[in-house]
Amino acid sequence: MALSMTSLMHQSFMLHALCVQELALLDYSMLAFSPSCVAAVALTLSMLCHGQRVECSHMLTELSGSRPSQMRRCAQELLRLHAAAAWPVSAEAKALLQPVCLKFGSRQWYRAAHTPPLPALPYELFRE
């Protein structure tokens, strides 16, 4: 059965969101955020990384039960982790993040780990 381009794009950003969420499991600072906050932010960042417009950030904020300021801090931390996974700055960071990158960089996961991080968090994202 052939997959449509829309289906492939959906699968691609969903797998990338899973990759970003798994990176979050490796950093103690992410314990400051609820799992629903991390999931909502990972999905939002992944959509942005794949060129999707994110018009649902207010809905995701509401569904996660988090405040926009908390979502923004979580997004900044996830963006930092994603950049560290893409371009490790130390041997320690590489050793910590490499297993997730190898897993999600495989063909089985459609090379989701190869999606480059955003250069910066969009200003308007998760504003009060």
- The structural domains of the chain, with segments of one domain joined by +, span 5-114
Q: What is the pLDDT of residue 7?
A: 52
Q: Specify the CATH architecture of the domain 5-114.
A: Orthogonal Bundle (1.10)
Q: What is the pLDDT of residue 2?
A: 46
User: How far, in Å, are 4, 22, 41, 82, 102 from residue 38 at the CA level?
Assistant: 29, 10, 5, 13, 21
Q: What is the pLDDT of residue 32?
A: 96
Mean pLDDT, 10 residues at a time, the chain of 128 residues: 48 83 92 95 88 73 86 93 86 85 76 80 79
- Report the C-alpha gap between 66 and 121 in whole angstroms: 18
- Report the C-alpha gap between 119 and 88 in whole angstroms: 15
- Report the C-alpha gap between 59 and 29 in whole angstroms: 25
- Report the C-alpha gap between 125 and 11 in whole angstroms: 23
Residue 125: partners with Cβ closer than 8 Å, 6 or more residues away: 44, 48, 54, 57, 72, 75
List, in sequence order, the alpha helices (H) in the chain: 5-24, 35-49, 57-64, 68-86, 91-104
Q: What is the pLDDT of residue 93?
A: 83
pTM: 0.79
